[in-house]
Amino acid sequence: MKIGLIDVDGHNFPNLCLMKISAYHKARGDTVEWYDSNKFYDLVYMSRVFTDTYSKDYEGNIKAYHVIKGGTGYGLDNKLPDAIEHTPGTEAFEDVGIDILSGKRIDLDILEYIPDIKGNPQAMEVIAELVAKLPEMEIDGHMSEEFEAKVWEKRMPDLTPAEQLAVEIDRFTYDYDTALYHDNSQSMTENVSELAEALKQRDTHDIAMWLADVVTEGTELEETKKAMELLEKLTDYKPLAKIEEMEEQNYNMVDNVLNNGAGEKAQKEENKKEQERPAARISLKARLAEKKALVSGQGKDHAEQENAKKNQREM
């Protein structure tokens, strides 16, 4: 038989159902290939994961004696025939088949019990694509560091410029100083969200200063080039000029006295709230600020030590 396969979603990565179908028919001696509209087939399989919201159904004419459609994109009441689903030489309950989509949730917990899928790079690639395409879905379970990074990589084309830059800064921080990155107790998703918000608010001083230090150290050419590239991109999110900040903070000035004490009072209230606030997880942005302060402090201490030595020699 001549078998044609159609991945309706049009993704350029392996489709698990089509892989099983291909293996089954090749074992029978059939010819299996991606569907070619210029050819005629005995049987064509169409696999679809997403509904019209994310990908349209195949609209071309199918030249075949028989066409079989399957996948959640065509409904939840279809599945592969047992002859294809079942792996020869194993018990039926050993067949690997899971539904990780349920309502508005994606169940990643179940992967812990199915090593055949969790340990299969091609299968995890498909799942990462699914998570990336459905950002509004809630995740049940833990995303590994590698898996989460792959999800964000796949989301990049659909992100806003600020979000894309936030992802780039997050990944650069990870590659440049993994220990610093792991001192931060947030996930990549939390880091990206915080960095993107900082960019939108033009609160970029700490980030820019840290990147400038990386450029100054210049230990690795590629790292220096990347830091300079990120600094260039940060120019679109420069903080407001100091005078503008002062004007905004002192908009209620009525007698030529800045803030009329309102700023001082507000600061005291904020300090009190900060003291009463429970300890929060330290963010990546805060870690970068700490790193910058530490480097500056070390430089100051070093300069003071050198001056002391010089004075002793002169005496």
Query: Domain residues of the chain, as ranges?
Result: 1-95, 97-144, 159-239
Whole-angstrom CA distances from 97 to 24, 71, 82, 108, 123 are 16, 12, 11, 14, 11
The whole-model pTM stands at 0.52
Give the neighbor-by-neighbor strand order of the sheet with 2-7. Answer: 31-34, 2-7, 41-47, 64-70
Phi and psi torsions of 231, nearest 5°: -60, -40
The residues of the chain scoring below 50 in pLDDT are 92-95, 241-263, 266, 278-280, 302, 313
Contacts of 215 (CB under 8 A, 6+ apart): 224, 227, 228, 231
Residue 45, SS3? strand
Residue 162's pLDDT is 93
Q: 233-269, pLDDT tens digit by residue?
A: 988 887 654 434 434 444 444 444 444 444 455 456 6
Whole-angstrom CA distances from 130 to 11, 34, 80, 136, 150 are 11, 22, 20, 11, 11
Residue 244's pLDDT is 46
Q: Measured at the alpha carbon of residue 112, what is the angle toward residues 106 and 113, in degrees to the nearest 5?
A: 105
Residue 282's pLDDT is 53
Residue 41's pLDDT is 94
